[in-house]
Structures are given as C-alpha cells and as structure tokens.
Amino acid sequence: MYSKSDLDIELRNKILASPNAILDDKEVMRALVDAKEEAMGGNIVDIRGLAMERLEQRLGRFEDTHRTVIATAYENLAGTNQIHRAILRMMDPLDFTNFLSNLGEDVREILRVEHIALFLETRNDMGDFETTFSEQNIVKLVPPGFVDTYLTLGRNTPVRDVILREISNKTDRIYESDLNNIKSEALMRLEFGAGQLPGMLVFGAEDLHQFSPQQGTDLLAFFAGVFERIMRRWLA
C-alpha cells in the first residue's frame, strides 16, 4: 500500500484536484483494480472488479453499436440527398429528347453509376417514338415479356419491383459493349398505367458491391415511382 510519503506530492495534488481524470481512464482504473486484487490475495474474489470488467465490456459493445448507427444514419441521409438531386435534375427537361439525354448524362453522374438504360416493351412499331428512340442509345425496345423474364432470370419466381444483384451471364442485350465493366445492377420494374406494357430502368455499376440484395430498396422504389409518372407524360 502506498503512504503519503510514497506518492509524489505534486502527483497526489493533481489526483485530488481532478479525480475524474483517473475514473475516466480505463487503463489506469484497470491497473488500480489489479493492484487491489493482488493486495487482497488470490483466494478472495473481488466482486466489484468483476462487475467493472463486465460493465466495460458492455460499454464497449454499446459504443460500437452507437458508431454503427451513426454511420448508417449518415449513409442513409447521403443516399436520400443523392436521389432527391437526381429527381430534381430529371424533372428539368421540357421535351422527351432532352429528358433521355439528361437521364444518360447528368442523372447518371449524380447517381454515380456507369450505365443507365430504359427498356420498353412493345407489340408494334411506335411511330414517331421509334425515330426518337433510335437516336438515344439509352432506350431499348423489347418484345412483351422481356422485362419479367430478365428480372427473374427466367425462373418461375415472383417478380419484385426493385432488384439489386450481381450481373448474371444473361446480360449481353442489357449492357452490350459495357458488359465486361459492369459488375452489379439495380433493376426497377416500371408500370405506365392501364393498357400499357411494362418497362424496366437499369442502373449498372463497376463496383461489385454497389448494388447487393442486402441493401434497402426504398429510395430506388421512390425514384422509380417518380420516373414512372414522368414517363407517362411522354407516353400518353
């Protein structure tokens, strides 16, 4: 045990002046507890020391959880702002040609994806739209059933409105020359109203982990909902 003469007077005065500095230091407190246990002998269990150790472990887990929650909140906020900026930019053009150009350039850059494509199912030629589409590489006209077949990869499974996944080996028609660069994709099924065939909006990313099934789809579902409503103006 230390006596007053064993402890440096200046150090003792500092401790007495600011005892919280000792209590808040985990390593110092652990050293004090260990010293207390040695003084008590090996046959005596220090319940307070054990309790403190468990509290420290719980506090450590709580701090880790707290940091994770904060990081997730910031990530969600950043994602929300990104989607909102993309939607506002998507609403700027006043004609369909500029709308498509804007989608493939400014909106794509805001969303930080390498590829955007719009697939529209059609039974017949679409007249004037066909000429417009031929000038826009972003738009692909496909036969009925194409969208659901690609979303499910031809399997007999329910069709979801938003799908995030790694690209499959059935993507030649989706990405064409960009196929070797695209590693993950976000797929949004589009509905354009009664009597209209569905469509599909595709985001392709070079990052394998940018789109994965473990991620939430609420923001992309919201984006797709706005996109559907904008497209209905041009398809009417």
Pairing state of beta strands 115-121 and 139-142? parallel
Q: Which of 168, 163, 145 is nearest to 212 (CA)?
A: 163
- Would you list the domain boundaries of the chain? 94-235
Q: What is the pLDDT along the chain (236 residues), one digit of tens a residue?
A: 444 556 678 877 887 888 777 777 777 777 776 766 656 555 555 666 666 677 777 777 777 777 766 766 667 777 788 999 999 999 998 888 889 989 989 999 999 999 999 999 988 755 555 555 555 678 888 899 999 999 998 888 899 999 999 987 666 667 776 667 889 999 999 999 888 899 999 999 999 989 999 888 999 999 999 999 999 888 76
Q: Which two tokens stand for residue 162?
A: 């938003």
- In 127-181, DSSP assigns E strands to 139-142, 162-166
**How far is it, in rounded angstroms, from Cα 103 to Cα 211?**
19
Residue 1 pLDDT: 47
Q: Which of 197, 192, 122, 187 is nearest to 160 (CA)?
A: 187
Residue 2 pLDDT: 47
Question: Is domain 94-235 in CATH 3.40.50.450, yes or no?
Answer: no
**How far is it, in rounded angstroms, from Cα 60 to Cα 137?**
53
Between CA 167 and CA 175, with CA 173 as vertex, the angle to 5 degrees is: 55
Give residues with Cβ within 8 angstroms of 220, minimum separation 6.
83, 162, 164, 186, 188
3-state helix, strand, coil in the chain (%, to 5): 55, 15, 35
Numbers of helices and strands, H then E, in the chain: 10, 5
Model pTM? 0.67
Cβ–Cβ under 8 Å, residues 140 and 100: no
Residue 224 has φ and ψ, to the nearest 5°, of -65, -40
Pairing state of beta strands 162-166 and 199-205? unpaired
Alpha helices in 91-170 (DSSP H): 96-102, 108-111, 128-134, 146-152
